[in-house]
Structure 1
């Protein structure tokens, strides 16, 4: 097979840095041909078939993501593709293997680093071809398409990490509260159901809550019509509260998450969809002390966790099948960003390459 010498990829202009917020939009993405090299001894060269988007990608595009970004940043962290070449020292992979890249290239084990995150600290995956360290990729479950598999590295692994690790891994019979119907929340719902838990889901849309019910949520709450949804969660759990809360909105909802979790329960803080601008900080000290709440921040996960998650997915094929809202062509990547930004989606937004 003749290896490609060039790859088409999206990137932000060279002047785009964390401090160049005036660019501040995914509309500034440009597509161009750049050279691609053969893999080094410990690397594999992968042909990208699909990329999925995250809220983080919108933050990066808007200049609101913390940390230093490389010049001409290639965005996006989540991909699925096919190995087309392997380095001389690579023994565990072969040409034709279907793989995903882990979000953090250096996070192999649960206690290892988390500094080389794709589409942020290092160049991402919105490109036709890319090399990866052989140890940082994971085999795709056989039953999933490339589009479905592209949703796993960030959203799915974040949800899996939140439920399976930390102070108290999920167990059958637990009650899990998931906020909204975005990527992480939908995967958390699916993994909780696969684990034998009861799920309570919130959303501002009755139509989206119908999807959550179809996926197995036992109770649903529209937080627009029920603004004090924490009180409703406590009622639904016979005055006890939820065992675990998947907190995706940050300070905007944290006070209600604190009120809705049971004594000794767990709140897993995933993101800040509610924004950080004018939202006042939440007093967490008193509820954490008097309710003995365990609060844990989640930043995706490791290669080891990714492999374990895929075992759960393979054992629960229908329950855990990724929910894809819409698939866009590579040339329509900006439209994919716009669709994600609209928050009209349920599940994941995917770009097919």
Structure 2
């Protein structure tokens, strides 16, 4: 049986990402075959495809996030059954506990072939059941972006009701952080360069808003909005250019979850500001299968629905990545498989 796969071949670059035909794999002992129904895009996928997100061996099938139906079981599989709707884990080897170098080397979509294909064959330990309240397209948004936001706020940040969270931008991780924080009873300040996007964030429950083009010193504005105290948490997706302001925006002892690199990788830092603020800084690389399953329970209990900006067919993966590159989207970009 033949399947489609979007493959980066020869060298990195969007021009080298093309559909190919491959044989459908056969699951061995302990493995399952999943017929993917949807995949979603993350900034990491754009970075990898473009050649600056990891020097992984080629050819490579990108995209870490997907959701599909279990259609075949290898010998000895008991965790899932045929017909189950599942999401592959971002880190196939990180089941629980703290991260390890070995576990962090098992990421889907690089170095392991990812979800931009019709079928994936993975260990039965490398999937979790999708939330019962979500469609496959919605569930496909969770494994990287959703889980990153969850771990940032609840695993590392110990978010509690009444906390104030500052969320940067309106991409996938940021919108999930907004939705999770509001479900937990937190107060959310969101930043964007677009008043239209801020209006859309308001409809999702955001409490206060900063247009950082109109107010470049958004850290001072965040302190004003909190009566001079500062925010309890910053979901830091901007990287080098935004991190110094994140330090100034938090309260004494506040938490910064460092997630993204949208504005760059390297910048001189004011170390005195870090220790002067008694800042708690967590580097976040997604999370474990246990974290994912904890998040799924919260998604079901609170009926949280991922925000999908636009859906493309698999054969239009390159235009979908170009939409992400333009940064005009709000929430998630999804592929229908």
Q: Which moved more, 1:106-115 or 1:153-162?
A: 106-115
1:154 counterpart residue number: 144
Checking the alignment, whether the CA contact within 8 Å between 2:60 and 2:111 is kept in structure 1 is no
Alignment of 1:69-148 (within 5 A): 69-112=56-99, 113-148=103-138
Q: 1:345 aligns with which of 322, 329, 333?
A: 329
Residue 53 (structure 2) pairs with residue 53 (structure 1):
no
1:40 counterpart residue number: 28
TM-aligned CA deviation for residue 275 of structure 1: 2.1
Distance across 1 between alignment mates of 2:269 and 2:48: 25
Checking the alignment, whether the CA contact within 8 Å between 1:41 and 1:90 is kept in structure 2 is yes
1:331 counterpart residue number: 315
What stretches of structure 2 of length at least 5 have no aligned partner? Answer: none
Alignment of 1:15-30 (within 5 A): 15-16=10-11, 23=12, 25-30=13-18
What stretches of structure 1 of length at least 5 have no aligned partner? Answer: 17-22
Distance across 2 between alignment mates of 1:351 and 1:41: 30
TM-aligned CA deviation for residue 85 of structure 1: 0.4
Q: 2:243 aligns with which of 242, 245, 254?
A: 254
Checking the alignment, whether the CA contact within 8 Å between 1:176 and 1:243 is kept in structure 2 is yes
2:232 counterpart residue number: 243
TM-aligned CA deviation for residue 71 of structure 1: 1.8
Residue 201 (structure 2) pairs with residue 215 (structure 1):
no
**Considering only aligned residues, what root-mean-square deviation do their CA atoms show, in Å?**
1.1
Q: 1:294 aligns with which of 252, 257, 280?
A: 280
Distance across 2 between alignment mates of 1:264 and 1:117: 32
Distance across 2 between alignment mates of 1:253 and 1:37: 44
TM-aligned CA deviation for residue 38 of structure 1: 1.5
Residue 305 (structure 2) pairs with residue 321 (structure 1):
yes
TM-aligned CA deviation for residue 176 of structure 1: 0.2
TM-aligned CA deviation for residue 124 of structure 1: 1.2
Checking the alignment, whether the CA contact within 8 Å between 1:53 and 1:348 is kept in structure 2 is yes
TM-aligned CA deviation for residue 165 of structure 1: 1.1
Q: How many positions carry a matched residue from both structures?
A: 334
